[in-house]
Amino acid sequence: MTKNHHYDTIIIGGGITATALFFTLAKYTNLNRVAMFEKYSDIATLNSHESSNSQTLHCGDIETNYTLEKAKEVKKAASMLDNYTKLYNLRDRVIFKFNKMALAVGDQEISYMKNRFEEFKNLYPYMEYWTKEQLAEIEPQLVNQREENISAMGARDSYCAINYSEVAKSFVKNAKDLKDNFDVYLNEEVINIEKKGNLYVITTLHDTYFANFVVVNAGAHSMLFAHKLGYAKELSCIPIGGSFYYTKEKVINSKIYTVQNPKLPFAAVHGDPDISNGLVRFGPTALVLPKLERYKHNHFIEFLQSLSPDTNTLKVFYDLLVDDDIRNYMAKNFLYEVPGIRRRLFAKEIQKIIPSMRSDDIEFAENVGGLRPQIIDKVQKKLIFSDGKITTNEPILFNVTPSPGATSCLKSAMLDSKLITKFLDKKFDEKRFNKELVTKNQEELEVA
C-alpha cells in the first residue's frame, strides 16, 4: 500500500451530497486526508446538475406535504445552505431571489390553505396570505381565464432558487483551499468496495485505494453498493424519472407550488423560473424507469439488483396499483412522456396554475430532468419518504438520496461528520458549525 493511497475517509460520488460532506470534513473536522471519487469528468453532472432538478431551496413553507414538525426540520436544513451562501458571498451568484407561493384552487383547497397559513405563520413570519385580487397583481396569468376562486400563502423576494451544481463546485473549491490532502479524483469510477482487516479497499477503474471510513454518496448506485456489501437487504430502490416542460413565453416570475396529495409527496406540478436560461419550467413528471441514471447509458442489470424484486416488493407495487389516485397518477405520468400526445395532456396539468395554457404554448424539455431513487421498505411493505441514510456498525455508510433532496446536503454532511469523527476518534467542531451555518442568520432567513 502506498501512503498516498491511504485516506482517513473516502467519499464515493461527486454530487451535492458528497461535496457537502467533503467541505464539512475540511472545514469543521481535524481529518487531514480525504478523497472523493467521481465517475464522470466533472462535479455534479447527474441529479445535482442545474438542469436535472427544480432548483428549489425547500424551506418547508410552500411544500404542503410537510407537517409543522417536519417543516421545522426542513427549515433548519435549508438554513444551513442559505447561511453557507452568505458565508462565502454566493448570494445572487448561485442563489437567487424570486416570489414563491403555495397555490390553492377551489373552495376546498382555499379552506385548507387558510388553516395551513394560521398553523405555519409563526414558523414562517415572512409568509403572507394572498387573495385572488392580490394574486392578480403578483402573477396576472394565475387569474387570466379563471372562473374559480384561488388563494395562496407566499413570500416576496425570497432566496429560493438555487443552482446546486455551482454550490457543489464551490464546496470542492472551499475544501481544497483549506486542506492540502483533500483530493478529488474525476473520471474515476469505483467498481468494488471490500473490507480487509480494519481497512476498506476501494478498487476504481484505474487503481486501488484504502480508507479507514467510507461514505457512499452515489445516488441510486448507493443502494447497489449497500446490497453488495450485505447491508439494507430489507430495502429496495425504484428509480423515478422526472421530466419538465418549458413554456414559450415567460408566463410567471414566481415559484408556484400546488397543494400536494399526501399519498404522493412532491408529485404535484409546480412552475419555476429556470435560473440557468431565463425560461419557465413546469413539472416534474414521475415515471418508473428501469435504469439508475436518467440520460446516461442503461444500467438495467444494476436496476434489477438495487430493486431486488421479491414477493414483498410486488406487494408494494400491488398496493400502489389498487389505489385509484396512485394508479391514475402513474398512468397520466406515463402518457406525459409519449411523443405526439404528451404536450396536449401536460398543458391540461399546467392549467391548474395557468388556466390559459395550450399545448402550443409548451415544449417538452429535452435532456432536462433527473431521477429520484425511491426507497421501498420490503418488511413494512411501503414506500419510505424520509432520509435515505443507511448507517451500519462498521466504518461505512450509504446515502441513497437525502430528503428533501439537495436542500438537506449540509444537514446530511453534519450527521455523517459526527459519525465519522466519532468512529475515527477525531474531532467535529459542532459549535463552530452551528455558529456559522445553523443559528447565525436564522432570523434573516425568515425575513429574506
Ligand X SMILES: Cc1cc2nc3c(=O)[nH]c(=O)nc-3n(C[C@H](O)[C@H](O)[C@H](O)COP(=O)(O)OP(=O)(O)OC[C@H]3O[C@@H](n4cnc5c(N)ncnc54)[C@H](O)[C@@H]3O)c2cc1C
Q: Find out whether 38 and 247 touch, Cβ atoms under 8 Å.
A: no
Which parts of 156-185 interact with ligand X (CB under 6 A)? 164
Contact between 417 and ligand X per CB under 6 A = no
CA atoms of 57 and 74, how far apart (whole Å): 10
Q: How many residues bind ligand X (CB under 6 A)?
A: 41
Instruction: Reply yes or no: is the peptide bond before residue 355 cis, omega within 30 of 0.
Output: no
Residue of 9, 23, 25, 38 interacting with ligand X (CB under 6 A): 38
Shortest Cβ 171–ligand X spacing (Å): 11
Contact between 411 and ligand X per CB under 6 A = no
Is 224 strand, coil or helix?
A: helix
Shortest Cβ 78–ligand X spacing (Å): 8
Backbone angles phi, psi at 104, to 5 degrees: -115, 130
Q: Find out whether 419 and 391 touch, Cβ atoms under 8 Å.
A: yes
Stretch that binds ligand X, among 119-127, 138-146, 404-412, 426-434 (CB under 6 A): 404-412
Shortest Cβ 79–ligand X spacing (Å): 14
Which parts of 189-228 interact with ligand X (CB under 6 A)? 189-190, 217-219, 221
CA atoms of 225 and 39, how far apart (whole Å): 15
Q: Find out whether 166 and 50 touch, Cβ atoms under 8 Å.
A: yes
Burial 327-361 (b: 16+ CB within 10 A, else e): eebbeebeebbeeeebbeebbebbbbbbbebebeb
Q: Which is nearer to ligand X, 110 or 223 (CB)?
A: 223
Residue of 60, 154, 239, 369 interacting with ligand X (CB under 6 A): 369
According to DSSP H, which parts of 43-202 are helical? 68-87, 106-120, 132-138, 164-178
Beta strands in 348-410 (DSSP E): 362-364, 370-377, 382-384, 389-390, 396-399
The set of cell numbers assigned to 236 is 429496495
Shortest Cβ 256–ligand X spacing (Å): 13
Contact between 17 and ligand X per CB under 6 A = yes
Q: Which is nearer to ligand X, 243 or 421 (CB)?
A: 243
Q: Find out whether 214 and 6 touch, Cβ atoms under 8 Å.
A: no
Residue of 13, 60, 271, 273 interacting with ligand X (CB under 6 A): 13
Stretch that binds ligand X, among 148-156, 365-373, 419-427, 430-438 (CB under 6 A): 365-373
Interface map 260-289 toward ligand X (x if CB under 6 A) = ------------------------x-----
Q: Which is nearer to ligand X, 136 or 335 (CB)?
A: 335
Residue of 9, 51, 306, 407 interacting with ligand X (CB under 6 A): 407
Shortest Cβ 315–ligand X spacing (Å): 26
Which parts of 67-126 interact with ligand X (CB under 6 A)? none
Cα 404 to Cα 71, 123, 237, 263: the distances in Å are: 11, 18, 17, 16
Q: Which is nearer to ligand X, 299 or 426 (CB)?
A: 299
The side-by-side arrangement of strands in the sheet containing 370-377 is 287-288, 235-242, 370-377, 382-384
Those residues with Cβ within 8 angstroms of residue 255's Cβ, 6 or more apart along the chain or in another chain: 56, 62, 98, 99, 100, 101, 160, 161, 270, 271, 272, 273
The set of cell numbers assigned to 405 is 433532496
Residue of 213, 215, 404, 413 interacting with ligand X (CB under 6 A): 404
Q: Which is nearer to ligand X, 52 or 83 (CB)?
A: 52
Question: Binding residues for ligand X, per CB under 6 A?
Answer: 12-18, 37-40, 44-48, 52-56, 58, 164, 189-190, 217-219, 221, 242, 284, 369-372, 399, 401, 404-407
